[in-house]
Amino acid sequence: MNLHISCTDRTREALRRIADAGAEGARIFTRVYADSALTAAAAADARTAAGITLGPLDGRIVSIKDLLDVAGETTTAGSKVLRDAPPAAQDAVVVQRLRAAGAVIIGKTNMTEFAFSGIGINPHYGTPGNARDASRIPGGSSSGAGVALARGMCELAIGSDTGGSIRIPSAFNGLTGFKPTQARVSREGAFPLSFSLDTLGPLADDVADCARADAVLSGQPWQPLGQRRVAGLRVGVPRGLLFTQADAQVLAAFEAALSDLKAAQARVDDLALDELLGAPFRLQEKGTLIAAEAAHVHAALLAAGKDDELDALVLSRLRRGETIAAPHYVGVQQARAALLPRLDAALADYDILALPTVPVIAPTIASLDDEELFHRTNMLVLRNPSVFNFYDLPAVSLPLPRAPGEMPVGLMLVGQRNADRALLAVAAALEQFLQR
């Protein structure tokens, strides 16, 4: 949207787009805050007229994922089984920070039930169609977030990312998504999936907006990103496992970008990191941290016998989590703690790792009716981004250039832990370079 137009007019336009989408709008948003959004927009316009600003998101239209608490409302986390739960006593910390920064919160976006899938299918509230081709999946679990942003129903979207749930819908819908280092953004008031791996972050149209949102979400003072040059950038490419089972269009787009970087005198090295990058999968063959922790989160629900009220695809993963033995869970956590510094050391000489965000373009919704194919596709879609949740490294997904009619492809850039702004600065330089 044109930011030179008043916030009130931009908010009205976003609300019109949601309303005009009809039933699809209801699949994208679980709640729309029309009245309060227009009130907040008018206040933002008044501040602008008075020469006052509350920060980098003042007057920006923002959606929030359905797992974030809003005072006085029940947090349903994409599930109808929670619709009668007690209302939230207060806003989630990130929602408090958005309001204090003058953001206009336009609504809550749909998601995979309990955030437990990278596909984005929801049998309770409906599945939003991909913004570039509505017959295809939106990506999850922040499905509504990606589609709402790509369809101009908001200007930024706040999602969560446990195994790729910000980066996957960003890649599939042609957006930019940022998963921070876990400790950077408070998760207080966000319905959990995995205590060990959950993160909160933005989806946006560009890196600059991701950086603005990151400043607000993390409670940091806003400063413009430092300038980086492509020439001399140290880029590691982890050839091997994370490039397997990839669509030809994905590989072609990635290799074209890599060739351009080399021509611009970036230092690009192929790295043999499969021992480390494959470790999360080997360690979790008998059960994942996410499944074990999700089963704990939902223990009371699972004991209550409400299986028929849950998405069967989510329920099967929760039930699997119940079977994970405590020694296995502890062993994975111990092994993870030992692995983190090893990958840190392997990446110390590089500014970023670069690889496809997701190895495939978005498949059709209808093609995943088969449960076995759904689970295989879900594992493949989550594979690349989930590695960097396991290693708690910040990561950005950038949209790669594409020909007319082609589905979007994402380029994932991975930085060093707690060097989030350094990663965003590199991502901004690469974004400008790729869009030239």
Residues serving a catalytic function are 65, 141, 165
β-partners of residue 414 are 353, 395
**Does residue 141 have a cis bond before it (omega within 30 degrees)?**
yes
Q: How far apart are CA 423 and CA 178, in angstroms?
A: 10
With vertex at residue 146, the alpha carbon angle to CA 24 and CA 138, rounded to the nearest 5 degrees, is: 65
- Find tokens 């608490």 and name the residue: 69
Q: How far apart are CA 401 and CA 57, in angstroms?
A: 27
- Please count the helices (runs of H) and the strands (runs of E) in the chain: 16, 11
Q: Answer positive or negative: Cα dihedral of 292, 296, 298, 304.
A: positive
Give the type of residue at 48: T
Do 117 and 139 touch, CB atoms closer than 8 A? Answer: no
Alpha helices in 367-418 (DSSP H): 371-390
Cα→Cα distances 406→52, 361, 400, 409, Å: 43, 9, 11, 9
